[in-house]
């Protein structure tokens, strides 16, 4: 089943293509809207991996339904430590398991160019585990 953020995102893309609904050609056609891109991205990734699971015979569990909660036991335990991990997708086959934590790395609206910005993005991506 596709998530509501994914369906809304696809609808917004269609509106943009048709030049209606998202401040189209007429002032009367535009409507205010908001799309949480992180939810859209995670729903899109879930949709892609659902197809992968269906085509390869994998069993898929999803974090948004709390099906992927796994406890973390720290030795020694520390006050305030994270108690569990909840990856977005958990795919299982007889011989393998694939754990996916889909995070959209959203940037602010300022765009910078040059080698320094590219290395910074690579470093941030690596630190985020993407």
Pick the residue with more confidence: 123 or 110? Answer: 123
62 CB burial (10 A radius; 0-12, 13-18, 19+): buried
pLDDT tens digits for range 72-115 = 988 888 888 889 999 999 999 999 999 998 876 655 544 444 44
| Cβ atoms < 10 Å from Cβ of 56 | 11
pTM for the model stands at 0.57
* Residue 52 near residue 59, CB atoms below 8 Å: no
Pick the residue with more confidence: 108 or 17? Answer: 17
Burial 23-44 (b: 16+ CB within 10 A, else e): eeeeeeeeeeeeeeeebbbbbb
Residues 6+ apart with CB under 8 A from 100: 45, 49, 87, 88, 89, 90, 91
Domain ranges of the chain: 36-128
104 CB burial (10 A radius; 0-12, 13-18, 19+): middle
Question: Where does the pLDDT of residue 17 fall: very low under 50, low under 70, confident under 90, or very high at 90 and above?
Answer: low
pLDDT tens digits for range 27-51 = 545 556 667 778 888 888 998 999 9
Q: Which two tokens mark 29?
A: 């056609």
CA distance 114 to 122: 13
CA distance 17 to 79: 51
Q: What is the pLDDT of residue 92?
A: 96
């Amino acid at each position: 089943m596709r998530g509501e953020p994914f369906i809304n995102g696809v609808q917004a893309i269609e509106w943009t293509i048709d030049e209606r609904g998202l401040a189209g050609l007429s002032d009367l056609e535009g409507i205010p809207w908001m799309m949480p891109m992180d939810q859209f991205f995670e729903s899109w990734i879930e949709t892609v991996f659902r197809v992968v699971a269906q085509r390869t015979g994998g069993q898929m569990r999803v974090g948004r339904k709390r099906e992927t909660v796994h406890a973390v036991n720290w030795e020694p335990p520390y006050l305030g430590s994270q108690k569990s991990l909840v990856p977005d997708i958990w795919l299982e086959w007889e011989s393998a398991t694939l754990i996916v934590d889909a995070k959209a790395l959203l940037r602010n609206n300022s765009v910078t160019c040059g080698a320094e910005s590219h290395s910074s993005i690579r470093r941030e991506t690596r630190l985020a585990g993407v």
